[in-house]
Chains A and B, each alone.
Chain A
């Protein structure tokens, strides 16, 4: 099974988020991320045919119209 290492976690945080993660945090996040990865495989195997993410255009449009000119 694929596994996140603390070193990989710390590097991702640094490279993608410009964030210095402590060694303790990286170790703890690596465990959680490895579980997420395993569950993500289960999710990717589900039949999601016909189900789109519900990012609503009417809501986006309404927000755009609410926003004052800047």
Chain B
């Protein structure tokens, strides 16, 4: 049968076909992934915990079920890894922190319960920015995650381990979380696909919170189809998460291939400025591709969305809610936090109650403005990040205008507004820079219309063609 290298290149959909034809076994595939983890981890550091024995046992169980024609669906036998923010029963869940270094939960996060019941095989728990509170995944306790396209660079964050493992081919599917872009940023700078579903579409139960009001859980995969397949498994109401939505969940693969001819796509002017030169070039080329597929691309303005005040509204909510969760630990174990996470929590002390409440009202205003725009357009489009992956430890980047920006600001600027609005948004790679670093675009849709977001992203991805894996 296929050699290890070929097995690792397959996406979820293609692997499922081979399983159905019984051309490969989950035992064989899982062994290939565990070998790959052993080979790549010294360079990438994507994992905090590898659950090799459990993975082998789950693979054997999957093999027995498939032999008995008890096929569970597209995630049966899929080697999957979880951001180490997600509870796993009897398996260490650190949140990427020192504080929870020995924490062993008594139950699973709902996303893992659903994936496990769908037959997914857990390879392990993925490294991240400490407590998901940052964009670099330069973790002071578990070591930095390295970008597979350039080991000296960050994979973005906070779901950096998830993205790096996908593209290093040491996991086939992964879960990420997104409070200010933490799924889409790492997807954008490592060349994978990251979908932040609508707030409340996917249960947050059993996921260590950063900010209750703007935390999102979602798929990170190598292809848009795989993201749709994973969303089919994890979306839907959960009695354990009382904020989860009961709006019916469609089959997200049903309209993937319907094309985008006649669709109207809006470029938000405020989210397409001050870009790195090659990001701007790739974005313009993506717009031409969409037009070539029959979509109409128009420019719109949503002036408040990208303002400093709008950003502050979101960050006041995040800082205040993060502080509420961490307050006792901060008081008693401050030295066990990395400096940037401690700083974010300390900033939370300066958010007044009235400003916190007002920030929530401002979220509603931002959502009203973007939903109004989306009455006329199927999706909004922007670059996912202003820049390509920065070097590990780099604090500021120089933009073509000569201005320097904090790295975090350049990473979050175009994605974070949609954490405040809660609308679905996906990052899809659009090309490589001349120095071989991924560049990505972002599509944003109406609340609970992930189906259209995925449809447009899929059409674009098919027109773009295959995306090269890094040479590692």
Residues of A within 8 A of B (CB): 4, 9, 12-13, 16-19, 21, 25, 28-29, 32-33, 35-36, 39-40, 42-44, 46, 48, 51-56, 58-60, 62-63, 66
Contacts and interface: CB of A to CB of B under 8 A. Distances in A.
B309 A42 contact: yes
Contacts of A62: 239, 242
B313 A43 contact: yes
Contacts of B240: 66
Contact of A19 (B330, B351, B362): B330
A28 B342 CA distance: 12
Given A13-B346, A21-B346, 16 more contacts: A19-B330, A19-B331, A29-B350, A32-B347, A33-B350, A35-B308, A36-B347, A36-B355, A39-B308, A40-B312, A42-B309, A44-B358, A51-B364, A52-B364, A53-B361, A54-B360
A63 B126 CA distance: 30
Interface string B315-340: 11000000000010011001000000
Given A25-B343, A36-B316, A9 B308 contact: no
A16 B313 CA distance: 22
A63 B212 CA distance: 14
B54 interface: no
Nearest to B304: A46
Given A16-B349, A66-B242, A36 B312 contact: yes
A52 B243 CA distance: 17
B312 A43 contact: yes
Contacts of A46: 362, 365
Interface string B100-119: 00000000000000000000
A18 B331 contact: yes
B242 A54 contact: no
Contact of B312 (A16, A21, A35): A35
8 closest Cβ contacts across the A-B interface? A39-B312, A53-B360, A62-B242, A33-B350, A42-B309, A51-B364, A59-B242, A39-B309
- Dominant SS among interface residues on chain A: helix
A16 to B, nearest CB: 7
| Max count, chain B CB within 10 A of own CB: residue among A9, A28, A29, A39 | A39
A39 B347 CA distance: 15
Contacts of B358: 40, 43-44, 48
A69 B334 CA distance: 33
Contacts of A55: 360
Contacts, number: 93
A52 B342 CA distance: 31
A54 B239 CA distance: 20
B330 A36 contact: no
B343 A43 contact: no
Interface of B: 239-240, 242-243, 307-309, 311-313, 315-316, 327, 330-331, 334, 342-343, 346-347, 349-352, 355, 357-365, 368
A54 B347 CA distance: 23
Contacts of A28: 343
Contacts of B309: 39, 42-43
Nearest to A36: B312
Contacts of B355: 36, 40, 43
Nearest to A58: B242
A31 to B, nearest CB: 10
B350 A53 contact: no
12 contacts: A12-B350, A19-B349, A36-B315, A39-B308, A39-B312, A43-B362, A46-B365, A48-B358, A48-B361, A51-B361, A51-B368, A55-B360
Nearest to A60: B242
B364 A29 contact: no
A39 B362 CA distance: 12
B278 to A, nearest CB: 30
A17 to B, nearest CB: 6
A7 B328 CA distance: 23
B349 A36 contact: no
A40 B352 CA distance: 10
A56 B311 CA distance: 23
A49 B346 CA distance: 32
A51 to B, nearest CB: 4
Nearest to A28: B343
Contact of A48 (B239, B343, B362): B362
Contacts of B316: 36, 40
Which of B242, B351, B363 is packed against the most chain A CB atoms within 10 Å? B242
B33 to A, nearest CB: 37
Contacts of B342: 25
B240 to A, nearest CB: 7
A33 to B, nearest CB: 4
A29 B362 contact: no
B365 A29 contact: no
A12 B347 CA distance: 11
Contact of A9 (B350, B352, B363): B350
A66 B242 CA distance: 9
